[in-house]
Structure 1
Amino acid sequence: MKKLVIIPAYNESASIRKTVEDIRENAQEFDYVIINDCSTDDTMQVCRDNGLNFINLPVNLGIGGAVQTGYMYAWENGYDIAVQFDGDGQHNAKYLETMVECMESNKADMVIGSRFIELEGFQSSAARRIGIKYFTGLIKVLTGTKISDPTSGLRMINRDTIKMFANDYPVDYPEPESVVAILRRGKKVVEIPVIMNEREEGVSSICFRKSIYYMAKVSLAILIECIGEKNGLASC
């Protein structure tokens, strides 16, 4: 199988090289591509200086657009598996092969690395934990499936789901909405326990002040997704 790590990066010059080194050391069967989302720091120069594989976006598309670019690359280049992997050092590449094994053994369409199964390692900020619990409940109500870490950026998908997301992917804060989208289409999502690291460099895009806006916007997007799917208006 061809396997790809998609690394969306916005102003991750301090950590992007270490992220790639982790993948090269601990997930040697995976290719990788960095999606530089029009960073305003030296992310692109770090990629060039170190000979890293990257796509440079001419305008800032946000996390959804950056990740969708990676899925388009994966689909067009014949990858069987693609995994989103943060460029800030929070994710650990040692889990990637375990995620592949979980996907194959469970015949899953998506595998999510969850911080909240064994509750080890960095558990995110208080504001994010509130949002995570909220979305866990909302997704359970709408789909009947409990996802303990619906905002996790460590998520692996198969070839069919790559095609789906290459064609249509949420723009802002896409993780909860994309989980609902594939669950509502009868696809299988499973989680495995992982340990995540606290961000060492840079600043998270979500703070307490933004968390209410985040929850309201994503909730509305999820409800629109469900209404559209119910009425046959979904794009996939």
Structure 2
Amino acid sequence: MSTDRPGPPIIIVPAWNEQQTVGDTVREIRAATPDLPVLVVSDGSTDRTAEVAREAGALVLELPFNLGVGGAMRAGFRYAVRHGHTAAVQVDADGQHDPAEVPLLLAKLTEADVVIGARFSTPDDEYRVRGPRRWAMVVLSKVLSRLAKTRLTDVTSGFKASGGRALAVFAEHYPVEYLGDTVESLVIALRAGCRVTQVPAHMRPRRGGNPSHRPVKSMIYLFRAGFALLLALIRRWETADAPEPVRQGGVP
């Protein structure tokens, strides 16, 4: 049930077996944004992810099965809507996103419904992706830039702020398929009339655990990314019933 008064933005941390990193990540988020609640969605974890997150001071939502990032984020968005939060920021549990940049994403929500923390957007950015995976990112960014009518350089970034109309749309329609939480979610937002933009962000090395994409899987990533984009473009969603947005600072 939603509260009558809009609540503050909430930080959502999807986590699957991230006991090594989630505690430090939560503590860093709380230090950088002490006024914002942190919700860790333990995505069917079989280790101590949920316990470690609670010990670090986070709210924890435990899913009984592993649904993937999309499923975990949809659960987080539904929690945010039901508890009256005005916006939600996705921060990965592995420590690669810098919580100090969260306020930059939230500030941009006065102009848009979805704000991407974009890697590769500044010349001094040390984060690099090469080969087929980079080719896929370039193609996806060009196609979605045309749909959004603005330049987007990193549409596969998992560091995003969602508010306004997008929050309600994502609570109902956030995709759970592979790459759906990035590519398809942006297509859904754009077709629902949301505005999408980006701000520069920096990627850091993982604190621990295993990366979700390894170099040997780059070609598979390329084909899957193309298929995910095609699926997103041909699908139809009933998103017209989403409520009018409440912007940061209470401005409709």
Structure-2-length-normalised TM-score: 0.83
Q: Which has the higher helix share?
A: 1
- RMSD of Structure 2 on Structure 1 (CA): 2.0
Inter-partner Cα distance in structure 2 for 1:70 and 1:219:
27
1:198 pairs, out of 192, 199, 205, with: 205
Shift of the 207–235 alpha-carbon distance from structure 1 to 2, 3 Å rule, reads: farther
Gap change, CA 1:36 and 1:120, over 3 Å in 2? farther
Q: CA deviation at 1:220?
A: 2.6
Alpha-carbon distance change, 88 to 160 in structure 1, aligned in 2, over 3 angstroms: same
Identify the residue that residue 234 of structure 1 maps to in structure 2. 237
Partner of 1:90: 96
Q: Which residue of 2 aligns with 1:25?
A: 31
1:76 pairs, out of 77, 82, 102, with 82
C-alpha separation in 1, matches of 2:166 and 2:103? 19
Report the AA paired with residue 26 of structure 2: V
2:61 counterpart letter in structure 1 = I
Is the 2:148–2:195 Cα contact (8 Å) retained in structure 1?
Answer: no
Query: Aligned residue for 2:250?
Result: none
Q: Deviations over 1:77-127 (max 9, x none)?
A: 1110101110100111111112222221x2x01111112111444414435
Match of 1:161 among 158, 163, 166: 166
Q: Which residue in 1 is equivalent to 2:127?
A: 123
User: What does residue 133 of structure 1 align with?
Assistant: 138
Letter in 2 for 1:44: A
Q: 2:153 is matched with which residue?
A: 148
In structure 1, runs of 5+ residues without a counterpart are none
Task: Could you tell me which runs of 5 or more consecutive residues in structure 2 were left unpaired when the two chains were aligned.
Answer: 1-6, 240-252
* Shift, 1:167, TM fit: 0.5
AA aligned opposite 1:169? Y
Question: Counterpart of 2:37 in 1: which secondary structure?
Answer: strand
2:21 alignment partner in structure 1: 15
Provide the C-alpha distance between the structure 1 equivalents of 2:234 and 2:14, rounded to a whole number of angstroms.
Answer: 29
Q: How many residues align?
A: 230
* Corresponding residue number in structure 1 for 2:114: 110
Q: Partners of 1:218 and 1:142 in 2: how far apart? A: 17
Equivalent-residue separation in structure 2 for 1:185 and 1:48 (angstroms): 35
- AA aligned to 1:114 is A
